[in-house]
């Protein structure tokens, strides 16, 4: 089943990792020489090492030299920043398609280049602590080199010199900006509509960069390797070949970017080599060595966990060997992953536990600024996590906040999170922070005592809610797991914390989830005023449109943050969120571990749970009703029949995709409204992918024809059309078209007026939304859901997909079943589509680092 779509749309469960049969480019040429370039076993290190070039252009460095350089970084003899600072070597002429490994290059079976375990063999990770992560969904812009092309284009320009491949003949100068790019695209036979995006990605010298290295077109989202090859052949003529080094380097970056779309933050070296060979790169090892040497790719060692294997012991005589896998990744995701790990450790280590009764502040002068957590009790560790290091008590550094007032929402700060980073702190009552008397007096900070926390827990509506409140009282980081009914427990924690005077907020993935959380908060604290304003979305919290705003240091002005829908947090959003929390803040990550992971790279919540890095609270609150019973069984790998006397669950068989579409339209337009009273605009259709005979495109076309026929006069849309707007990759905002004008397409998104510029509409940011993929639907629920499973969808099914799709309906679930036994088989045998990430290793290393000093003491 086809799942083609613009970048960021196709859920990762539909994308195969590079190196697999499903990920092969259609029509891609086989590797020269048959299988001589086949991938090595997954645990094998990448063949050879990166090569450096001295100023005199000397010979290649050996793998041993690279290993020695990395050991120098580990021992402190050489800074990590200097690791790749040698002058880039000139590029070699294009190699014949059938040639073997480069002369002097290590064989595929040779030892791998060494890197500090779990850390990159390069300078990038240090940046994770020096700059904020990119805004969610927005690719990080590589540094500009001499005002020209950025990222891979700049590296290609550096490698192209007198000894490297010559650029295609062309005019000496191009028109500035996108106009010059159009000239080059036209010369190469590529669509001129790519000009604006190419200019944005490749920088001011985009035209020159494309002329010198046509394969830089792969950096433009949506361009495939075969398209870039055709563009290069048109510009370079006979000089173009599959062995061109520029092609190999562009493919390395493209493969890693595609892996990120599929959810991986890094790839095993063997998988990347295999993917390069599948795309007719004659020497994949040499291509990887060059990418490593140029700093375009970082190298990591990730320890392989073997059940029952004792931890290796290091003594003065040497180190016991431990199996590792060599991972390669882009610095963008390496920085985000390390930033998340460092930030979570910081929250644990700077947390001050609940104060005793004698430490409860009273009205009066502010406490001494030198007060530290040494006066507080030790943080409780419910799952044998490392003890947090003493640190200043965060609650002693911030004024108290009323619990029944509305935080000021600054809608003039723009939509980017960075826009709110420098906004002064606002009081919870919405008035600007007055700093005139801050040097002389301040309000007493709120620091609830252990007894007050215990009283709040005793008053909790359920045992699981009480357990969560106690855990949050004694730890700066808590993981909470549970299904839909368990969302009442974080709401109870928020209500309790606000009743104690803390600035507590809950953040959800979607506006739909925010409204549900606001309803739960109102039920937990019916007498409180404006308590529902404590519910925000993650994106609005970071942008400053909702929530407490930021203090003078750019940190979020809050004491407790509960993030619901935590499985939907991608690495870059999580990094920005964690970096925005001040020291000592309590962070609770809550979510259902059975649902699909984030649309972006990473699996933050799953890695956090697997690392056992912090206290974990597993809800014991079940989801009731036939749908809850069905979904609970799916969560443990069982697809069983359930009693549904009120037609809560209905199975509709379909012989083929055409019948599946017909049955779906019939259910949405007639059956569900007639039998249950749920209107068509409150019923959501969910299917496996965008393409195919029963994908979202086919279903939306049929549903539009039945429910809102029209000519599509506004870029394919008519007033009244249900749409799905993607303001950033991985985020889906449901809406309805209200009109269009010169500014763009006008939408009503959950009561908010949104204008989408024409160029974004043309780029696919808006789709019809009667039918969504399961990943687009994650974090939202509707009164009724119709899940469509045509026969060609069987290969894309996993337990997590079925669990997510089936749990989107609140009152009713219809399943249009065309996959027969593939459905129960997927539920029982295919839990998830695995992702390659490093966060679990980084968190476990943080635990070890904390435990070693404790053991020494």
Under DSSP, the state recorded for 77 is: S
Average pLDDT over residues 263-273: 96
Considering the domain architecture, whether residues 538 and 647 belong to the same structural domain is answered as: no
Mean pLDDT value of segment 502-522 = 96
> 303 lies in a domain?
no
| Rounded CA separation 856/34 (Å) | 56
Question: What pLDDT is attached to residue 65?
Answer: 55
Higher pLDDT, 70 or 847: 847
pLDDT at 542: 96
- The packing angle between helices 284-293 and 269-278, to 10°, is 120
How many separate helices (H) and strands (E) can be counted in the chain?
26, 21
Mean pLDDT on 181-209:
92
Question: Does residue 668 form part of some domain?
Answer: yes
Mean pLDDT taken over the chain: 77
> Could you tell me if residue 152 is inside a domain?
no
Tokens 């088989």: give the residue.
825
3-state secondary structure of 200: helix
User: 455-511, pLDDT tens digit by residue?
Assistant: 999 999 999 999 999 999 999 999 999 999 999 999 999 999 999 999 999 999 999
Domain co-membership, 498 together with 598: yes
- Give the pLDDT score at 77: 52
- Phi/psi at 769 (5° precision): -125, 15
In a domain, 129, yes or no: no
Least confident residue range of 14-28, 317-331, 512-526:
14-28
Per the model's pLDDT, the better-predicted residue between 802 and 166 turns out to be: 802
Q: How many domains does one find in the chain?
A: 2
Domain annotation covers residue 105? no
User: Does 594 share its domain with 711?
Assistant: no
For residues 25-53, average pLDDT: 38
User: Are 480 and 490 contacting, i.e. CB atoms less than 8 angstroms apart?
Assistant: yes
Q: Examine the domain organization and report whether 593 and 614 are in the same domain.
A: yes
Question: CATH number, domain at 579?
Answer: 3.40.50.300
Same domain, 669 and 709: yes
Confidence bin at 847 (pLDDT 50/70/90): confident
At 73, the pLDDT band (50, 70, 90 cuts) reads very low
- One domain, residues 461 and 587: yes
- Tens-place pLDDT, residues 647-664: 999 999 999 999 999 999
User: Residues for the chain: how many in total?
Assistant: 857
Domain of 791, in residue numbers: 638-829
Helix, strand and coil in the chain, % to nearest 5:
40, 15, 50
Whether residue 695 is found in the same domain as residue 577: no
Report if residue 581 sits inside a domain.
yes
Are 822 and 680 members of one domain? Answer: yes
Between 239 and 811, the higher pLDDT residue:
811
pLDDT at residue 31 tops 60: no
Residue 575 pLDDT > 90: yes
The reply to whether 814 and 845 lie within a common domain is no
**Residue 677 in domain:** yes
pTM: 0.73
Q: Is residue 74 part of a domain?
A: no
pLDDT 10s digits, 685-694 = 999 999 999 9
**pLDDT value of residue 705:** 97
pLDDT at 695: 96
> How many other C-beta atoms can be found within 10 angstroms of the C-beta atom of residue 210?
35
pLDDT at 177: 80
The 10s digit of each residue's pLDDT in 358-413 is 444 444 334 343 443 334 333 334 343 444 444 444 444 444 444 443 333 333 33
Query: What's the whole-number mean pLDDT along residues 177-190?
Result: 92
pLDDT > 60? residue 199 = yes
Q: Tell me: the pLDDT tens digits for 587-643?
A: 999 999 999 999 999 999 999 999 999 999 999 999 999 999 999 999 999 999 999
3-state secondary structure at position 651: strand
Pair (572, 450) in one structural domain: yes
For residues 809 and 844, state if they share a domain. Answer: no
Do 669 and 585 share a structural domain?
Answer: no
pLDDT grade for 433, boundaries at 50, 70 and 90: very low
pLDDT, position 487: 97
């Amino acid at each position: 089943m086809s799942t083609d779509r613009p970048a960021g749309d196709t859920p990762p469960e539909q994308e195969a990792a590079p190196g697999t049969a499903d990920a092969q480019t259609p029509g891609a040429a086989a590797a020269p020489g048959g299988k001589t370039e086949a991938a090595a076993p997954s645990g094998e290190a990448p063949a050879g090492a990166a090569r450096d070039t001295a100023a005199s252009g000397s010979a290649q460095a050996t793998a041993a030299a690279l290993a020695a350089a990395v050991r120098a970084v580990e021992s402190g003899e050489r800074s990590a920043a200097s690791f790749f600072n040698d002058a880039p070597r000139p590029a070699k002429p294009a190699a014949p398609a059938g040639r073997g490994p480069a002369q002097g290059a290590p064989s595929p079976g040779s030892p791998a280049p060494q890197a500090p375990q779990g850390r990159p063999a390069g300078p990038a990770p240090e940046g994770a602590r020096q700059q904020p992560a990119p805004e969610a969904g927005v690719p990080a812009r590589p540094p500009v080199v001499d005002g020209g092309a950025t990222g891979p284009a700049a590296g290609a320009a550096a490698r192209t010199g007198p000894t490297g491949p010559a650029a295609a003949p062309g005019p000496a100068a191009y028109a500035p900006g996108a106009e010059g790019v159009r000239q080059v695209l036209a010369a190469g036979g590529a669509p001129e509509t790519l000009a604006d995006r190419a200019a944005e990605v490749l920088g001011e010298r985009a035209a020159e960069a494309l002329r010198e290295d046509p394969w830089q077109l792969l950096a433009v989202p949506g361009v495939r390797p075969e398209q870039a090859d055709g563009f290069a052949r048109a510009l370079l003529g006979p000089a173009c070949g599959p062995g061109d080094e520029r092609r190999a380097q562009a493919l390395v970056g493209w493969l890693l970017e595609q892996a990120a779309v599929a959810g991986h933050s890094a790839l095993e070296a063997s998988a990347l080599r295999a993917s390069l060979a599948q795309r007719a790169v004659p020497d994949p090892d040499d291509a990887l060595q060059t990418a490593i040497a140029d700093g375009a790719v970082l190298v990591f060692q990730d320890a392989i966990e073997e059940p029952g294997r004792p931890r290796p012991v290091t003594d003065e005589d040497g180190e016991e060997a431990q199996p590792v896998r060599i991972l390669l990744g882009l610095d963008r995701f390496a920085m985000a992953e390390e930033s998340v790990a460092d930030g979570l450790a910081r929250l644990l280590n700077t947390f001050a536990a609940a104060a005793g009764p004698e430490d409860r502040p009273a009205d009066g002068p502010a406490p001494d600024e030198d007060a530290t957590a040494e006066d507080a009790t030790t943080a409780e560790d419910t799952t044998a996590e490392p003890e947090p290091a003493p640190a200043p008590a965060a609650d002693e550094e911030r004024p108290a906040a009323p619990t029944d007032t509305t935080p000021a929402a600054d809608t003039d700060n723009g939509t980017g999170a960075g826009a709110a980073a420098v906004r002064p702190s606002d009081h919870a009552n919405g008035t600007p922070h007055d700093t005139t008397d801050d040097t002389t007096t301040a309000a007493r900070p709120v620091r609830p005592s252990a007894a007050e926390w215990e009283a709040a827990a005793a008053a909790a509506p359920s045992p699981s809610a009480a357990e969560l409140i106690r855990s949050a009282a004694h730890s700066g980081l808590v993981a909470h797991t549970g299904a839909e009914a368990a969302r009442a427990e974080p709401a109870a924690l928020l209500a309790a914390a606000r009743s104690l005077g803390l600035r507590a907020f809950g953040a959800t993935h979607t506006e739909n989830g925010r409204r549900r959380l606001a309803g739960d908060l109102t039920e937990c604290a019916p007498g409180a005023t404006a308590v529902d304003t404590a519910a925000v979305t993650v994106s609005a919290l970071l942008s400053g449109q909702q929530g407490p705003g930021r203090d003078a240091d750019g940190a979020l002005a809050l004491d407790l943050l509960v993030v619901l829908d935590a499985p939907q947090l991608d690495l870059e959003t999580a990094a920005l969120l964690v970096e925005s929390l001040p020291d000592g803040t309590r962070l609770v990550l809550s979510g259902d571990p059975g649902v699909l992971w984030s649309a972006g790279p990473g699996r933050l919540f799953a890695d956090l749970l697997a690392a056992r890095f912090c206290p974990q609270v597993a809800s014991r609150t079940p989801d009731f009703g036939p749908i809850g019973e069905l979904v609970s069984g799916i969560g443990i790998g069982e697809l069983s029949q359930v009693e549904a006397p009120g037609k809560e669950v209905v199975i509709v068989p379909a012989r083929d995709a055409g019948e599946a579409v017909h049955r779906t339209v019939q259910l949405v337009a007639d059956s569900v409204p007639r039998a249950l009273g749920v209107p068509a605009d409150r019923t959501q259709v969910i299917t496996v992918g965008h393409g195919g005979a029963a994908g979202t495109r086919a279903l939306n076309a049929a549903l539009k024809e039945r429910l809102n026929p029209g000519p599509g006069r506004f870029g394919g849309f008519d007033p009244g059309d249900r749409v799905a707007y993607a303001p950033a990759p991985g985020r889906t905002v449901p809406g309805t078209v209200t009109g269009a004008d010169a500014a763009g397409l006008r939408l009503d998104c959950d009561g908010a007026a949104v204008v989408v510029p024409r160029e974004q509409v043309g780029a696919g940011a808006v789709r019809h939304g009667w039918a969504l993929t399961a990943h687009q639907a994650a974090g939202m629920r509707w009164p009724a859901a119709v899940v469509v499973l045509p026969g060609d969808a069987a290969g894309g099914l996993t337990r997590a997909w079925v669990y997510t799709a089936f749990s989107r309906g609140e009152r009713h679930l219809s399943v249009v079943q065309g996959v027969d036994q593939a459905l129960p088989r997927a539920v029982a045998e295919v839990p998830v589509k695995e992702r390659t990430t490093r966060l679990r290793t980084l968190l476990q290393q943080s635990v070890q680092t904390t435990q070693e000093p404790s053991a020494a003491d």
